[in-house]
Amino acid sequence: MQRNIRLEIEYDGTDFHGWQIQPKLRTVQGEIQERLKAILRHEVSLIGAGRTDVGVHALGQVANFKTENPLDGESIQRGLNGLLADDVVIKKVQEVDPDFHARYTATSRRYKYRVYPGRTAILRRYVWEVLYSLNLDKIGKAAEAIQGEHDFSSFCVAESAKENNICEVTHATWGQSGDELIFRIEANRFLHTMVRSLVGTLVEVGRGYFSVADFVDILKAKDRRKAGPTAPACGLYLVSVNY
């Protein structure tokens, strides 16, 4: 009897070429699929909730696969963690309903982005080192404009734009944690590089290159050329996926 197995995964994306499997490149999906094949003794098609880019990290990536192997979840988890490199950890394994689909049954995804004001040797692989002062109040006010349903064409890679670039953002805030500035966002869907493009443009607001009104105009323009730079991948984390 075929079973549907759900994984919750944490990974450091620094040394991966993203989530999605690619020939001759190290990817998170590829590494886990290979280890599952060794444990279950058959080929596995692993479906991820989100295709994180090169260098992006995950605290709560979700994936699922189908198998007829009767091995229990605890044994699968122990086997995977024993075979995977240290930069990937399987946090949870459970059997779920046959119709569960990690990507298509998700209702929302949550990301965070970490900005560090200055240089850091220890955190440099996990934050964006910003070497100029930022006005957090202005950035926060600009982020308020993101909330709700909008066309985010101004904040996605032009060649990957879809017919429908409308996303509903339910949460978008900036806060401070120690020395770091943290951007948190939740939405029903995200476009390719959307969070990093938003962060790069919001940082330009904080620097004074754009006003809050300018940011609103950029959002309405539906034109990537109007927005600011794309923030580095190292500061971005997929926090969780909701179902």
Annotated catalytic sites, by residue?
53
Is residue 110 within 8 Å of 239, Cβ to Cβ? Answer: yes
Structure tokens at 243: 């179902």
d(CA 194, CA 86): 29
Nearest CA to 234 out of 130, 69, 63, 113 is that of 113
∠ CA 150-110-143, rounded to 5°: 45
The answer to whether the beta carbons of residues 105 and 177 sit under 8 Å apart is: no
